[in-house]
Structure 1
Amino acid sequence: MSSILIVGATRGLGASLRALYSSKPGTHVYATARSSTPEPSPGVTWLTGVDVSQPDVGQKLISRLPSAKLSTVIISAGYFGFETFDSPDWEKQVQMYTTSAIGPVFVVHNLVKAGLLDQGSKVILVSSESGSITLRHEKEGGGNFGHHASKAALNMVGKLLSLDLKAKGIAVGLVHPGFMRTEMTKGVGFDKYWDAGGAVTPDEAAQSLASFIEGFDINRTGEFWAPRGPNDIGTAEEVLGKNLPTPLQLPW
């Protein structure tokens, strides 16, 4: 039996990953919910009241998980608070940094120390191409400081975790799952870019991400990838050139 933990599994990509993995024979999913009490689902054990932005997130997880190895941990919880240069928002930025770049450290730390992650385990941190400094380009302008910078911080966290955990045989990957048609992107007005930007459904993104994770191992630990390739990355050709491969390794 393969055990997978999905942190942030009630909506968007996390919900699609939960449904996908729980449908696979021989796979059991441990899925976190921040505040709701989801309906029971075959192949899923819900861990409720788990908030990645809170200091006790790691302790809560290990107190509710069985003492058995997790094959994969996917941290997909996220928050996007829209900002412009004329209206930066302190509280939104704090929440974005905490959710994206602080909470994952404490999740992974506690899981490793409890022996739930060890040789052969994989940790997948859901980042975004928006966290690549190299891919930022004048055609997209500035703004959204907390969103972009918290993802850049997450990329650094993932790189550092990969260095800490390589000797233990635990692979850490950073991924841009794709531009998605979710309530999160709609909530910040990005639905107007869905068609032109090649946005996909969370189910489509989950399928390509799961395929990527299957082939991901310690040889690529600490790397930053776009499993769906460059098509939804607006600055990819300007910065990286044409005829780019899929999956695409992204620059920091």
Structure 2
Amino acid sequence: MSDSDRYSMPDQQARFARAKKESNERYLDITTVYDPAFLKGKRVAVTGANRGIGLALAKELTEAGAKLVAIVRSTSDELEKLNPDELIKGVDQTSNELCVDLEHAIKGGPIDILINNAGYFMREEETLDNLDFNEQLKTIDICAIGPLRVTSALLRAGALLDGSKVVMITSQGGSVTWRTTQNPDGHDYGHHMSKAAANMMAALLAQEVKSKGIAVGIFHPGFNKTGMTEKYKQIWEVEGAVDAAVGAKRIMHEAGKLSMETSGKFINCEDGLEIPF
């Protein structure tokens, strides 16, 4: 397999342009390949399910007949209207104590799929002129250490068993290899450091839980139109950004394909190809 067949393209605009030129249905219309039938009756836990991609995932799972376990710091009217199978509130994934509480809060039995989705992105562009080290530490805590707190709590609770899947929603921004293409001038230190740390955590986790029969997916969800990416709205269209509902389907399509053979791989949910670390 050549690198072009294995790896996604680092240039987002060129990637989207190629997909249009080749009429790549997988990229341009995920519904041509995505079948949500595998989700029916599955217990799927989503962190940060109250808004953004997390809420879109909650809606997609509910429509597919999954049993939604929403793990949130605070809820929302839209989430509560979905009537989750379990709604676990007050979980701040930067808090060791509250994540330990999660171990005892989950009641409904084993989790088939855990989606570590909750994240954070500093709204201002961070350069050497406005470095905010406290924001950097906050971002790393939420995006890299937080999912490990949540996952380890559910492992201790016996909620993740042989056959369970853990999905890490990270970002192409965590690829060190791609920084020369995507960030030729640097910038946004905290965001990119947090995603690289999240990827490392997930790769190590995949190795440690392999013997338990648990697969770990490391997913870039694609470029999605959310409040978190709104500061880039001027390039949404040229780079192929999609509504969160489409992004949710892309994520669940890759979650369905995740296996022990693909565990620990860094996947771009836009095209299903790998991203180099």
2:71 to 32, 38, 50: 32
What residue in structure 2 maps to residue 196 of structure 1?
238
Paired residues of 1:181 and 1:201 also in contact (CA < 8 A): yes
Aligned to 1:234: none
Which segment drifts farther, 213-222 or 149-158?
213-222
The equivalent residue for 1:121 is 164
Match 2:99 to one of 37, 42, 58: 58
Q: C-alpha separation between the residues in 1 aligned to 2:63 and 2:246?
A: 15
- Root-mean-square deviation (Å): 1.5
Q: Distance in 2 between matches of 1:176 and 1:93?
A: 20
Contact 2:50 2:76 in 1 (8 A): no
Q: Cα deviation per residue 1:61-112 (whole Å; 9 max; x = unaligned)?
A: 2222115110000011010013112111122111110011111111111211
1:197 deviation in Å? Answer: 1.5
More helix by proportion, 1 or 2?
Answer: 2
Structure 1: how far apart are the matches of 2:206 and 2:118? 20
Secondary structure of the structure 2 residue equivalent to 1:218: coil
Report what 1:130 is aligned to. 173
Shift of 1:45: 2.4
Q: Is the 8 A contact 1:57 1:103 kept in 2?
A: no
Contact conserved, 2:73 with 2:89, CA < 8 A, in 1?
yes
Runs of at least 5 residues in structure 1 that lack an aligned partner in the other structure = 230-246
User: Aligned ranges for residues 29-178 of structure 1 at < 5 Å?
Assistant: 29-36=68-75, 38=77, 39-66=80-107, 68-81=109-122, 82=124, 83-137=126-180, 140=183, 141-178=185-222
Distance 1:17 1:142 in 2: 32
Alpha-carbon distance change, 57 to 170 in structure 1, aligned in 2, over 3 angstroms: farther
CA contact (8 A) 1:58 1:108 kept: no
Q: Which amino acid aligns with 1:53?
A: T
Q: Please give the alpha-carbon distance, in whole angstroms, between the structure 2 residues aligned to 1:94 and 1:176.
A: 21
2:273 corresponds to which of 239, 243, 248? 248
Instruction: Report if aligned partners of 1:22, 1:44 keep a CA contact under 8 Å in 2.
Output: no
Task: Evaluate the alpha carbon distance shift between residue 65 and residue 40 of structure 1 in structure 2; reply closer, same or farther with a 3 A threshold.
Answer: farther
TM-score, length-scaled by structure 2: 0.80
Whole-angstrom CA distance in 2 between matches of 1:144 and 1:56: 30
More RCO (CA 8 Å, sep 6+): 2
Does the 8 A contact of 1:126 with 1:175 survive in 2? yes
Q: After superposition, give the CA deviation of every residue in 1:96-149 in whole Å (9 maximum; x if it has no partner).
A: 100111111111112112211010000000000000001112563211000001
With normalisation by structure 1, the TM-score equals 0.88
Note if contact 2:90-2:98 (Cα within 8 Å) is conserved in structure 1: no
Query: Residue 154 of structure 1 aligns to which amino acid in structure 2?
Result: A
Q: How many residues end up aligned between the 2 structures?
A: 232
Q: Quick one: structure 1 residues 59 and 67, their matched pair in 2 at CA, closer, same or farther if it must change by over 3 Å?
A: farther
Letter in 2 for 1:197: E
